[in-house]
Amino acid sequence: MAEAVDLRGQVADVLPLDPYALRADFPILRTETSTGRPLVYLDSASTSQKPQVVIDAVDGFYRGYNANVHRGIYEIGERSTAAYEAARASVARFIGAPDSREIVFTRNATEAINLVAYSWGRRNVGRGDAIVLTEMEHHANLVPWQLLVQEVDGDLEFIPITDDGILRLDVFEVLLRLRPKLVAFTHVSNTLGTVTPVREIVQMAHAAGALVLVDGAQAVPHLPVDVTDLGCDFYVFSGHKVLAPTGSGALWARRELLEAMPPFLAGGEMIREVHLRRSEFNAIPWKFEAGTPDIAAAIGLGVAAEYLMGIGMDRVCAHEAVLTRYALDRLATVPGITLYGPPADQRSGVVPFNVEGVHPHDVAQVLDRFGVCVRAGHHCTMPLHERLDLAATARASFNVYSTREDIDALVAGLGEVVRIFGV
Amino acid sequence: MDDLYRDYILEHYRHPHNFGVIETPDLRWEGANPLCGDRITMMLDVRDGRIADVAFTGRGCAISQASASLLTDELRGKTLDEAARMSADDVLDLLGIEISPARLKCALLSLDTLEHALAEGGPPASPGDAGTPAGVDAGGTEPD
Ligand SMILES: Cc1ncc(COP(=O)(O)O)c(C=O)c1O
C-alpha cells in the first residue's frame, strides 16, 4: 500500500492515511440516495464533506456560547472571541503562516482574491501595468483581474499550458520582460489536477519585481502547504473544500503588505476610531474584517485545520496520490474514454474525462442512478476548456474519505453509460 | 432501469430528424446554453405563413438534441402563429420523460431557439444592417 509519492520532486515516503477508518467521522457517508444506493461522493473539488468534529463545533457554538466577537464584556462574548481567534491561530499553523495576524478570514477564496484585487490592486496596478495569470485559472482568479485592468487600463497576460496541462515556464520567462506587477496562479488546477511549481514561479516572478498571489483553493485540501516555504506574497483558500463549513475561507498575506493595503469593505469591526468625517482603521487583520463575521464557520475552519493536522497532510497527499494513480489505471479500461491532465506524478486528486459520443451531463446523470456524484460542465474554467477545444468534461475528485471502492463504483457506472449509449 | 434514456430518446440523439442545413432560410437563430456547451442552430423556410421546411444543426447532450429532433418534427406544416404558441409543456410532452430541474435548460434549448428565430431571426430589416443574429445566451451561472 505504501507507494512513494513524487509531487514535483517532493518525494514523501509516508504511509497513506486509512480512509476506511476516517469514513466513520463523516456522517453523510452513511446516508443512502433515493434509489437506495450508498452515496459515492466523487465531487470533493466542488465542496468537501464535513467530519463530525466540525459539525459539532458549529453546533456547540450556537448551543453553548453564541455571541458576537470583539464586543461583549460578558462570558459567552469572551468565549466566542477566544474561539474565533484560536481558529485564526489554527489556520495560521495549518498553512505555515509565521504570524496569525496575517490571516484574514473571508467567506471563501473568491472573496479573498477580490479583497486583494480591490485593495492592493487598485493602489498598485496602474495604466499599462501587466498582471500575469495562466490559461487554467478558475474564473475566481480571472474575472476580478479583468475588472481591475479594465478599470485602470492595465493588461492581462497568460502563461500558456501544454495540451496535458503543464505550465509553459519558457513563455513565462518571456512574459516577465513586461515587468508585471503581479503573477497570480492556481496551486492546483481544479479541472486538470495539475500541481504547479509554485517555488520556481515565485523565484522567477520575484526576480522580475512582481508580487505573487497563489490560489490555493484546490491545494490546501490535498497537499502540505507552507506559505513561508513557498515564498509567495498572497495565498488564498476556501474552507468548504477543506472539510470546513461554507462561509469560511482565508487570505494570507505578508504583514507589510496587509499593513500598507487600504481597507476593502468598510463598517464596524474594521475601525479603531470613527468621527463624522473620518475614521482610523483597526490593526490587521481586523482592518479587513468589516461587519460581523461568520463566526461559527470560522470556528469550524479552525477545527477542520486541527483535524487535518492530526492526520498529517503528508499522509493525505500520499493517500490521494495512490488513489489518483488507481483511478487513472482503472478508468483507462473504460471503452471510449479520454482522460485529460498531466501524468500521475504531477497531479492532485482530480480526474477529468469524457466518454466518446456522450455528453458529460448525460454521463453524470447516468452515474447519479448509481449514487455516484461527479461534476459535469466547464468547472468554472471556460477559457481552459476553450484552449483544450472541449465543450465540457466530467470530473471525479477525491478527499480523505475517498476509497478504491468509490472508484470501482464509478467504473461500474461508466460501464452502464457505455451500455446505454452503445459507445 | 433508466427512465430518462428511453430507447426513442437515444434513437433521436443518435439519428436526429431534420438534422442538416437549409441554405437560405427565411428564419435562422443560433441558440446556446453556455453552462453545458449545448448549441443549436435552427433554420426555417416559410411559405404562405406556414413552416414549409425546418432543419437544425448543433451538438450537446442527449436531452437537448432529442428535444430539437422531436420539436422540429412537430413544426413542419404549422402556421407561424401555431409555432409561436408552442409552450414548454408541449416540448416536455414531446420528450415524454421526467426532466429534473437541472436538465430543464437542456430540454428547452430548442424551444428557446425557436422563439428567438420566430421573433428576430429574419433577414436584417435595412440593407445596411448586416450580420445574422447568433449566439443567444440561455443564461445561467455555474457554481463550483
Ligand atoms: C482553483 C479554485 N479557485 C477558486 C475557487 C473558488 O472557490 P469559492 O467558490 O469557494 O470561492 C475554486 C472553487 O472551485 C477553485 O477550484
In a domain, B92, yes or no: yes
Residue B36 confidence class, pLDDT cut points 50, 70, 90: confident
Q: Residue B35: its chain A contacts at CB < 8 A?
A: 377-378
Given a contact cutoff of 8 angstroms between Cβ atoms, the answer to whether A48 and A399 are in contact is yes
pLDDT value of position B3 = 77
In a domain, B118, yes or no: yes
Residue A348 Cβ < 6 Å to ligand 1:
no
**Across the interface, do A375 and B106 touch by the CB < 8 Å criterion?**
no
Given a contact cutoff of 8 angstroms between Cβ atoms, the answer to whether A135 and A159 are in contact is yes
pLDDT value of position B125 = 54
Average model confidence (pLDDT) across chain A: 94
Below-70 pLDDT ranges, chain A: 1-12, 423
In a domain, B142, yes or no: no
In a domain, B120, yes or no: yes
**Residue pLDDT, tens place only, B59-113:** 899 999 999 999 999 999 999 999 999 999 999 999 999 898 888 999 999 999 9
Given a contact cutoff of 8 angstroms between Cβ atoms, the answer to whether A290 and A268 are in contact is yes
Given a contact cutoff of 8 angstroms between Cβ atoms, the answer to whether A355 and A346 are in contact is no
Its pTM stands at: 0.90
In a domain, B22, yes or no: yes
In angstroms, the CA A79 to CA A299 distance is: 11
pLDDT value of position B2 = 54
In a domain, B77, yes or no: yes
Predicted complex: ipTM over 0.90: no
In a domain, B143, yes or no: no
pLDDT value of position B124 = 66
Given a contact cutoff of 8 angstroms between Cβ atoms, the answer to whether B104 and B34 are in contact is no
In a domain, B133, yes or no: no
Q: Which residue of B has its CA nearest to A190?
A: B144
| B23 contact A CB<8A | no
In angstroms, the CA B124 to CA B132 distance is: 7
Domain of B65: which CATH number? Answer: 3.90.1010.10
A312 burial via Cβ count (<10 Å: 0-12, 13-18, 19+): middle
**Residue A106 is placed in which grid cell?**
473571508
Residue B144 has pLDDT above 70, yes or no: no
Pairing of β A5-7 and β A10-12: antiparallel
Section B1-25 average pLDDT? 89
**Across the interface, do A190 and B106 touch by the CB < 8 Å criterion?**
no
DSSP one-letter string for B62-104: HHHHHHHHHHHHHHTT-BHHHHHT--HHHHHHHHTS---GGGH
**Across the interface, do A366 and B2 touch by the CB < 8 Å criterion?**
yes
Q: Residue A366: its chain B contacts at CB < 8 A?
A: 2, 5
Q: Count up the domains in chain B and report the number.
A: 1
**Residue B88 is placed in which grid cell?**
414548454
Domain that holds residue B60: 7-124
What number of other Cβ atoms are within 10 A of residue A20's Cβ?
A: 10
**Across the interface, do A359 and B60 touch by the CB < 8 Å criterion?**
yes
Residue A238 Cβ < 6 Å to ligand 1:
yes
In chain A, the domains with their CATH numbers are 2-43+312-421 (3.90.1150.10), 54-310 (3.40.640.10)
Q: Length of chain A, please?
A: 423
**Residue A226 is placed in which grid cell?**
507552507
Atom 14 (ligand 1) nearest CA: B144
Residue B123 confidence class, pLDDT cut points 50, 70, 90: confident
Spatial CA neighbour of A189 closest among A210, A227, A152, A215: A215
Q: Residue A138: its chain B contacts at CB < 8 A?
A: 144
Distance A380 CA to ligand 1 centre (A): 8
